[in-house]
């Protein structure tokens, strides 16, 4: 009879013990997977450096010998000196500057000392001491970059601004986007750098930049004449207005008016006079800004910091042969032993 009694419903609750056990096994597999990866990386690293360790005496002897040879070669060669000049190009002369740097390096590489000496107005003996030139972006502060981005925002459509943030704008800037440029000159003569100014001055003053400057000057003259004409007319109106106020003060019963040119009501005297004053200030501000721009950009380029009279010694790692030779030797031995093991593996592979 007990068999006919209703059975209790099965519990639908999750067995927490089984769940935790499954999670534990999952983490064990995950840790085992990462362990195999790290073990494989470590085994590969050991496999790679094992030939160097097995041939430690050969490797150590080779490194010591090449370090000594590098030191002797470094001390026997002429030291390289460098100096930097920071310039601010105008009228797109920066493109001519970059082209000139490549041209100078090409002349040095080809040994064309005659042309090089002609450009820099020096003899070929001094021209032979030049090692090369490099062009970098000049020093720019964060405020300079913010100002540049603000000018970019004001010059393009709003839709384009939304697509290019400040960070993306800075990351997408290339060398030619800079406003300041640092020119690095290298030579084996320590005091040759001041003599390079003439060469850069001649080559930067190209026809295209001169044409752009002449166009800017012409437009500036036209705008200056227009502003001066507006100021003269405004001065005439102010005199007429003041004369009308003077006459009106003698006849208080007559309302003040300047025909159709400048109608003035008696109750608006102070307002009209102040508006004329503000307009004059605005015109004079535009005129001053125009004159300031022309004065600041009156040359093809400005030299912010010239070349030093005495250059600094170049201690670049590419010229530190005491360290460079052993590094190259170690790299060669590493590739040599690795190729031997690879060849042996391929030969014995079945």
pTM: predicted TM-score of the whole model, two decimal places: 0.62
Residues 198 and 308 in one domain: yes
Residue 155 lies in a domain: yes
- CATH number of the CATH domain containing 241: 1.10.287
Residue 181 lies in a domain: yes
Residue 1 lies in a domain: no
Residue 18 lies in a domain: no
- Terminal Cα-to-Cα distance of the chain (whole angstroms): 75
Residue 268 lies in a domain: yes
The residue among 4, 51, 143, 71 whose CA lies nearest residue 337 is 51
Which pLDDT band holds residue 262 (cuts at 50, 70, 90)? very low
Tokens of residue 36, six digits: 């195999």
Contacts of 291 (CB under 8 A, 6+ apart): 224
Helix, strand, or coil (residue 135):
strand
The residue among 330, 310, 325 whose CA lies nearest residue 84 is 310
For 295-342, the pLDDT digits (tens) are 777 777 888 888 988 988 887 767 777 888 888 888 888 888 878 877
What is the distance between the alpha carbons of residues 348 and 343, in angstroms, rounded to a whole number?
A: 9
Residue 160 lies in a domain: yes
What is the distance between the alpha carbons of residues 104 and 117, in angstroms, rounded to a whole number?
A: 11
Residue 6 lies in a domain: no
Residues 190 and 309 in one domain: yes
Residues 86 and 136 in one domain: yes
Residues 94 and 170 in one domain: yes
Q: Which domain holds residue 64?
A: 23-75+322-348
For 152-180, the pLDDT digits (tens) are 777 666 666 666 777 777 777 778 878 88
Domain tally for the chain? 3
Residues 166 and 310 in one domain: yes
Residue 202 lies in a domain: yes
């Amino acid at each position: 009879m007990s068999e006919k009694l209703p059975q209790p419903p099965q519990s639908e609750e999750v067995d927490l013990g089984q769940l935790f056990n499954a999670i534990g096994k999952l983490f064990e597999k995950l840790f085992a997977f990462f362990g195999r990866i790290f073990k494989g990386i470590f085994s590969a690293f050991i496999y790679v450096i094992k030939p160097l360790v097995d041939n430690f005496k050969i490797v150590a002897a080779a490194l010591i010998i090449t370090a000594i040879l590098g030191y002797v070669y470094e001390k026997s060669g002429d030291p390289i000196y460098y100096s930097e000049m920071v310039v601010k190009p105008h009228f797109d002369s920066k493109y001519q500057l970059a082209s000139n740097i490549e041209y100078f390096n090409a002349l040095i590489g080809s040994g064309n000392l005659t042309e090089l000496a002609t450009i820099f107005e020096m003899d070929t003996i001094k021209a032979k001491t030049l090692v090369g030139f490099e062009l970098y972006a000049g020093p720019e502060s964060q405020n300079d970059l913010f100002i540049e981005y603000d000018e970019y925002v004001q010059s393009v459509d709003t839709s384009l601004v939304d697509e290019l943030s400040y960070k993306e704008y800075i990351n997408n800037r290339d060398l030619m986007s800079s406003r300041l440029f640092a020119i690095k000159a290298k030579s084996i003569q320590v005091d040759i750098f001041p003599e390079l100014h003439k060469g850069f001055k001649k080559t930067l003053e190209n026809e295209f930049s001169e044409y752009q400057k002449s166009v800017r000057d012409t437009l500036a003259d036209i705008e200056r004449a227009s502003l001066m004409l507006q100021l003269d007319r405004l001065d005439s109106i102010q005199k007429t207005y003041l004369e009308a106020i003077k006459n009106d003060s003698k006849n208080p019963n007559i309302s003040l008016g300047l025909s159709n040119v400048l109608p003035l009501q008696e109750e608006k005297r102070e307002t009209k006079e102040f508006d004329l004053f503000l307009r004059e200030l605005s015109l004079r501000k535009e005129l001053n800004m125009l004159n300031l721009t022309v004065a600041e950009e009156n040359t093809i380029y400005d030299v912010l910091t010239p070349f030093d009279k005495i250059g600094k010694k170049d201690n670049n790692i590419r010229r530190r042969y005491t360290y460079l030779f052993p590094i190259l030797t170690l790299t060669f031995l590493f590739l040599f032993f690795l190729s031997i093991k690879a060849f042996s593996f391929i030969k014995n592979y079945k």
